Structure 1
């Protein structure tokens, strides 16, 4: 009767009453169902220490139940700990003290190699530690018994993404979308994976999907502006570049620079100069913007000597760096400087005649 009352209160959301009746139903390990449900509700109510005690008592009686280890692991994970690290501890002992819940998750998997939730928790744990080989091992183990587990697939996709395996990341993020998953995170990371592999049109599709979740996200607009520059859809690049500036807090040097590049490709030299100057006002050390300013001036200014000075200033500033002799931008700047010098010399010679 107490168990039925506890379940009824839990179903209608009066959880304090449910806890009271569960406590009366869960009088010992013989009442295993009541104790299990009681422990889970204690976790829901953030009474982690009490939940830990309940599942420890159950495990003393039922030592081979994998789900009891998993539930106790949940309680331990969320419980605050005062941990003292002993330098003489072994790696295993240190892990037990620092992350005691991992031992329970591992025990759950040892007892049931198909325990999806325990495998998922372990995979996330190793993902945070950047131990990608372990993530993939656990994920593929879970997918053997449940090939459409979206939590596991998401963790696997992130593992490949963060270690830079773009093709594999694309495969698993696409799988998530095939299974009906759609979040800003998924579309953004899939879009970025396409971007890195220079699949610009596919990347644009995903960033536009991500934008539906956050229409005023300056980063998404900024990335779309760069992508549209790559596909030479300059009208769309201009639109998203302006939105990126509108929605972003300072600094804006990269957004101004990207927009100046859009106007440069459109041969709108006045706006290109306007936004490259704004970029440099935000960040005078933006090398790309400095070089772009010289190029824009080359097409916009009539005063050849003023243009020449921009190239000369750029060359003088960046010739002092350690890798200057390998810098292709410096090489282009020097070639243009030399050509301008010849043009100015020839023009002045013609005037003297």
Structure 2
């Protein structure tokens, strides 16, 4: 009887010591004193304490020790799903994608109705560029929980990126039915229409983003372009001016303003802003030079237009269309037929594979100029 009583006391005091160690460790952990908390958890030595040690190593960024601790826990407790789930997320965070897939596949194979397991499985497949398996996992998460916003977003984002608007909207609209002011979903919906060229339908969603405080440059940029393509020049101009408030978007804003003014036949303003956009750019700008070429031509400035198109062509010699414009303008500007002939001949020599209809047009013009030269010499 005495031995039993002593044994009872030993068990009681050991349990009390463990409880005391855990209590101290928990307090240290809550205060962010993770190193000291790890030492106290080690004194307790039970499953909960081991899990907290793994978490503490994770928090302080000692991922190798955290992974080792989680692995040790699972060796002793293979059905400890919480530890396996946390280990899977840590492996995903540290880009150990193969081991992460192993852990999440074990969790999803357990037949538990937990959409989070499938969501993180999908995230991991995304990371290894396996879109089919990623989408299958996200769809499984949505099947378990139709309001699982992160999986709905992942699916919507994928289909927006693939420019498959109808499929994207299926998942985006499901998310918005439950979270109508979710800015990420609203942005996806705006982009689904934008990428599909449905600018009028995109406008209210970009406007809604601004109403919700998403005053970011890309929202102003895309909204301005939508207004422009929807024949709303005043709103386009106003929005491009707002975009110009962002220093790193000045070139884009000025180019947009130039485009709107050009379409409105306000050529001086168009020229001003396109030139400003060129000043702001630190890269190549063949399109801007081509735009200035069009403006100069409309203003009757043939030589200036030719110079701009030639600069556009020099910036990007893969695009034969700008040099074709140089040929046409040279044909108008130079009186000497041999000079004009040389431009067209150079075009065919540099670009023997230009589109057939253009090649025929150039060949015809070459024949006409040669005939002109022939008659002039007789």
C-alpha distance in 2 between matches for 1:234 and 1:11: 62
C-alpha distance in 2 between matches for 1:182 and 1:3: 47
CA deviations on 1:223-266 (whole Å, 9 max, x unpaired) are 2221111011111111111122221327x433212101112233
- Contact 2:240 2:253 (8 Å CA) reproduced: yes
Structure 1, gaps ≥5 residues long: 82-96, 342-353
Q: Please, which moves more after superposition, 63-72 or 253-262?
A: 63-72
C-alpha distance in 1 between matches for 2:64 and 2:241: 53
C-alpha distance in 2 between matches for 1:39 and 1:194: 46
C-alpha distance in 2 between matches for 1:323 and 1:52: 54
Choose which of 59, 66, 74 in structure 1 pairs with 2:74. 59
- Contact 1:66 1:112 (8 Å CA) reproduced: no
TM-aligned CA distance change 1:166 to 1:128, over 3 Å = farther
TM-aligned CA distance change 1:338 to 1:7, over 3 Å = farther
Q: Please, which moves more after superposition, 110-119 or 44-53?
A: 44-53
TM-aligned CA distance change 1:321 to 1:41, over 3 Å = closer
Residue in 2 that maps onto 1:308: 302
Q: Please, which moves more after superposition, 61-70 or 236-245?
A: 61-70
CA deviation after TM superposition for structure 1 residue 197, in Å: 0.8
Q: Which residues in structure 2 correspond to 1:258-277 (within 5 Å)?
A: 258-277=256-275
CA deviation after TM superposition for structure 1 residue 52, in Å: 3.6
Q: Please, which moves more after superposition, 45-54 or 268-277?
A: 45-54
CA deviation after TM superposition for structure 1 residue 309, in Å: 1.8
C-alpha distance in 2 between matches for 1:151 and 1:23: 34
Structure 2, gaps ≥5 residues long: 1-15, 335-378
SS in structure 2 at match of 1:249:
helix
- Contact 1:311 1:334 (8 Å CA) reproduced: no
Choose which of 23, 45, 49 in structure 1 pairs with 2:41. 23
SS in structure 1 at match of 2:245:
helix
Q: Please, which moves more after superposition, 183-192 or 13-22?
A: 13-22
- Contact 1:169 1:193 (8 Å CA) reproduced: yes
TM-aligned CA distance change 1:213 to 1:275, over 3 Å = same
C-alpha distance in 1 between matches for 2:226 and 2:208: 14
TM-aligned CA distance change 1:53 to 1:238, over 3 Å = same
CA deviation after TM superposition for structure 1 residue 20, in Å: 6.7
Tell which has more relative contact order, 1 or 2 (C-alpha 8 A, sep 6+): 1
SS in structure 1 at match of 2:306:
helix
Residue in 1 that maps onto 2:224: 225
C-alpha distance in 2 between matches for 1:225 and 1:236: 7
C-alpha distance in 2 between matches for 1:77 and 1:26: 29
C-alpha distance in 1 between matches for 2:135 and 2:253: 37
Residue in 2 that maps onto 1:68: 83
SS in structure 1 at match of 2:248:
coil
CA deviation after TM superposition for structure 1 residue 167, in Å: 3.0
TM-aligned CA distance change 1:282 to 1:33, over 3 Å = closer
TM-aligned CA distance change 1:335 to 1:175, over 3 Å = farther
TM-aligned CA distance change 1:164 to 1:197, over 3 Å = closer
Residue in 1 that maps onto 2:6: none
C-alpha distance in 2 between matches for 1:322 and 1:20: 63
C-alpha distance in 1 between matches for 2:292 and 2:218: 24
SS in structure 2 at match of 1:153:
helix
- Contact 2:88 2:104 (8 Å CA) reproduced: yes
SS in structure 1 at match of 2:79:
coil
CA deviations on 1:171-201 (whole Å, 9 max, x unpaired) are 3233322221645544333322211111212
Work out which of the two has the higher radius of gyration on C-alpha atoms and give 1 or 2.
2
- Contact 1:123 1:138 (8 Å CA) reproduced: yes
When normalised by structure 1's length, the TM-score is 0.71
Q: Which residues in structure 2 correspond to 1:207-286 (within 5 Å)?
A: 207-211=206-210, 212-215=212-215, 217-249=216-248, 252-283=250-281, 285-286=284-285
The count of residues paired between Structure 1 and Structure 2 equals 313
When normalised by structure 2's length, the TM-score is 0.67
Residue in 2 that maps onto 1:163: 162
- Contact 2:25 2:40 (8 Å CA) reproduced: no
- Contact 1:218 1:248 (8 Å CA) reproduced: no
TM-aligned CA distance change 1:286 to 1:46, over 3 Å = closer
Residue in 2 that maps onto 1:194: 193
